Amino acid sequence: MQRAELQRWLDTTLESTRFSDYCPNGLQVEGRTEINKLVTGVTASQALLDRAVALQADAILVHHGWFWRGEDPTIRGTRKQRIATALASDLNVFAYHLPLDAHPTLGNNAQLAKVLGLQVELDAQANPVTGGAKGLIWFGAPQTPVTLGQFVANTNHALNRPAVFIGDADRPCKRVAWCTGGAQGMFEAAIDAGVDVYITGEISEPNAHLARESGVGFIAAGHHATERYGVKALGEAIAAEFDVEVLFFDIDNPA
């Protein structure tokens, strides 16, 4: 397929113009015009680029791309190496950050709910981007009654990774809030919304106190681990729609 066609489909599907983000969404580095092989992954790291080049892919599609607001804009060190790799191989780099977190079915939050077996609240599902601070918190419930302790054990099993949990393991887990990645700053908004537990990727020092003092559980299940499902689902949707080979690589990251 043509690069421009893929770009149009991605921008339309993910409604990328609706978001004010910390990075450019869409085509970040322009490569060759025709795309037959696409490599997907969470982050446009050197390891993912090298894998794409070795496979003679025409493009990579990631959740964490480049050119973040506030970062040093000079092209040197590892930034130089990454950009040089893409340019030398005429590799397209597509990245979607918040639009991929928020998408109602393919997004990271929607896909995490699927992986964890969470029943998404109907109003949140109808318009998930309006739920909570910055519009990215999702709400739902486990399909069977569990305690927070059991819920954490199920989460660890589903993500194949031990989460950091602060809270009362015996508290019933009736209502859950979540936002994938580095959304620990939204914990207070989740508490205000009235939930038993909040799941995100990472933990910061104040979160532990907030959990202990509010009684609301806090789960840090991994930034990478909570965000590997959106881009995978997006790649599968592309493969179903177009005549393109799509390969997803889960390059492990303990963070």
Tell me the C-alpha distance between 191 and 215, whole Å.
9
* Residues from 220 through 249 that contact Zn ion (CB under 5 A): 227
CB of 169 to Zn ion, least distance (A): 28
> Which residue, 172 or 182, is less far from Zn ion as judged by CB?
182
* Residues from 38 through 77 that contact Zn ion (CB under 5 A): none
Convert 107-126 into a string of H (helix), E (strand) and C (coil): CHHHHHHHHHCEEECHHHHH
CB of 41 to Zn ion, least distance (A): 12
* Residues from 123 through 182 that contact Zn ion (CB under 5 A): 181
Q: Which of 203, 221, 228, 226 is nearest to 163 (CA)?
A: 221
Sequence-ordered strand ranges (E) for the chain: 26-29, 37-43, 59-64, 92-95, 118-120, 138-142, 164-166, 176-178, 197-200, 217-220, 245-248
> Which residue, 58 or 227, is less far from Zn ion as judged by CB?
227
CB of 45 to Zn ion, least distance (A): 13
Q: How many residues bind Zn ion (CB under 5 A)?
A: 2
CB of 64 to Zn ion, least distance (A): 6
Nearest residue by C-beta to Zn ion?
181
Binding site for Zn ion (CB under 5 A): 181, 227
